[in-house]
Structure 1
Amino acid sequence: MPSALVSDRAIANAACLTPWGDEATGLPGAAPKELRRVAGFAVSRFGPLVHAVATACLGPADDTSNHVGRDGARTAIVLATMYGDAVTVDTATQWTVAGKLSNPLLFFQSVSTSILSHLTRRYGIYGPLTCISAVPDPAGNALSVADSLLDDPELHQALVIAVESKANERVRRVNELAAADGRRLPLPAGDAAAALLLRRIETDPGGARLTLSEAPPETAGGNGDEPAGPLGWLGTFMQLCADAGARRHETYSYPLSL
């Protein structure tokens, strides 16, 4: 059955970071293992990973020619992650069980939108912030939310971020239980993130295009019955960001499960 057209959006920029070391061989966005430190974020790589991929997509915050510029009030951010900062949550739990003093910083950074708030302060972004967790295609759902936000003429652009840290014991167990309940979601082999900056075509007439279309759930986001690749549920979205970031083609598509 042919897919139904939803909408077309302009791609202003894109970036991606894949699992580190040997796990990144041959994958789009391979990067050094070390991430730039982010003030106020410790223990976990989740916040620094989001910060790194968002900065790569938007441009340096201290550069007036970055993609936010004077449009901070007209910029939205949508973040997709299934398990968020599970490392921070686990660390706080383990410290409590061991009778150690809790660090208030861990409570702050365990909330997925905390790193988005850090980004908004650095870039002067005042638009809507949204964080979602959805099955079967978190990235597709984030694109759908961004597409809806861009229907508002007051918004100029929406930054879509998809991210997942390398699964720890807590995440692996929860994912096994979800799979047993019929909600299978393949996870990446290691830390992985991608960012895509979308605008309405009439406000950004040049450059690449993204066609968002409805598709059967078994094909949306590449999360069907086929074996999961090393990027798990982020695979299709990360490949889109890698291709768009390199400007290999002018038109791209992403099948949504709505």
Structure 2
Amino acid sequence: MITLAEGRWPTSEGDTLPAVAGFVESTFSPLAAEVARRCLQSAEPIAETAVIIVSSTGDLATAQATARAVDGGIRPGPLLFFQAVPNAIAGYIAAKWDLRGPVVCLSPAEPDLAEGLAVADLLFLDGDAHQALIISVEQATSVGERDTARAVLVKGAV
């Protein structure tokens, strides 16, 4: 597999995360969108590019916000329902960058790109995609930690 481009967040202590319209109360989707932008702005993705989201924990903040609402007897807002699955931001990224390959979301036991790369390889072998944008997002789970995200654009070996 050949890496064409890469994007990371954060890249500095002062790195700030841009908001994404329609995604609220969580950094998960803005993280995915931002590392995708950082990765793809320096590359030339083709239409047959798959979007693969990988996260060992998923969107913790949205799950917690939904649980708080339910526990408090409050109906969760419709945006929380919309963003409750990573497919929402994967579809947003695909539409924004005109990527028309498959969209896949994975939750591996360990926070890394290995399973995303394995799925990309299968998509290449099947002819379902010619490139893959693999995005790993992990939200901080304790005080003092920072959210992290990484995106790679890859293509199969020639």
TM-score normalised by length of structure 2: 0.89
What corresponds to 1:189 in structure 2?
Answer: 145
Say if 1:44 and 1:137 are closer, same or farther in 2 by CA, change over 3 A: closer
Q: Distance in 2 between matches of 1:137 and 1:35?
A: 20
Say if 1:168 and 1:98 are closer, same or farther in 2 by CA, change over 3 A: farther
State the AA in 2 paired with 1:46.
F
Say if 1:129 and 1:90 are closer, same or farther in 2 by CA, change over 3 A: same
User: C-alpha displacement at 1:55, in angstroms?
Assistant: 0.6
User: C-alpha displacement at 1:145, in angstroms?
Assistant: 1.1
Aligned residues: 158
Q: Distance in 2 between matches of 1:110 and 1:127?
A: 22
* Structure 1 position 49 matched with structure 2 position 31: yes
Say if 1:87 and 1:154 are closer, same or farther in 2 by CA, change over 3 A: closer
* Structure 1 position 36 matched with structure 2 position 18: yes
User: C-alpha displacement at 1:158, in angstroms?
Assistant: 0.7
Q: What stretches of structure 2 of length at least 5 have no aligned partner?
A: none
Cα RMSD after superposing both structures: 2.2
Say if 1:166 and 1:43 are closer, same or farther in 2 by CA, change over 3 A: same
* Percentage of pairs with the same residue: 30
TM-score normalised by length of structure 1: 0.56
Indicate the SS of the match to 1:194: strand
1:93-132 maps to which residues of 2 (within 5 A)?
A: 93-132=67-106
Say if 1:91 and 1:154 are closer, same or farther in 2 by CA, change over 3 A: closer
Q: Distance in 2 between matches of 1:144 and 1:115?
A: 21
Indicate the SS of the match to 1:99: coil
What corresponds to 1:134 in structure 2?
Answer: 108
Map Cα deviations across residues 63-108 of structure 1 (whole Å, 9 max, x no partner). xxx522xx22x11111110111111111111112223332011011
Map Cα deviations across residues 122-157 of structure 1 (whole Å, 9 max, x no partner). 111111111111224642111111122122345221
Indicate the SS of the match to 2:2: strand
Q: Distance in 2 between matches of 1:94 and 1:35?
A: 24
| Contact residue 56 and residue 111 of structure 2 kept, 8 A | no
Q: What stretches of structure 1 of length at least 5 have no aligned partner?
A: 1-8, 19-28, 61-65, 170-187, 203-258
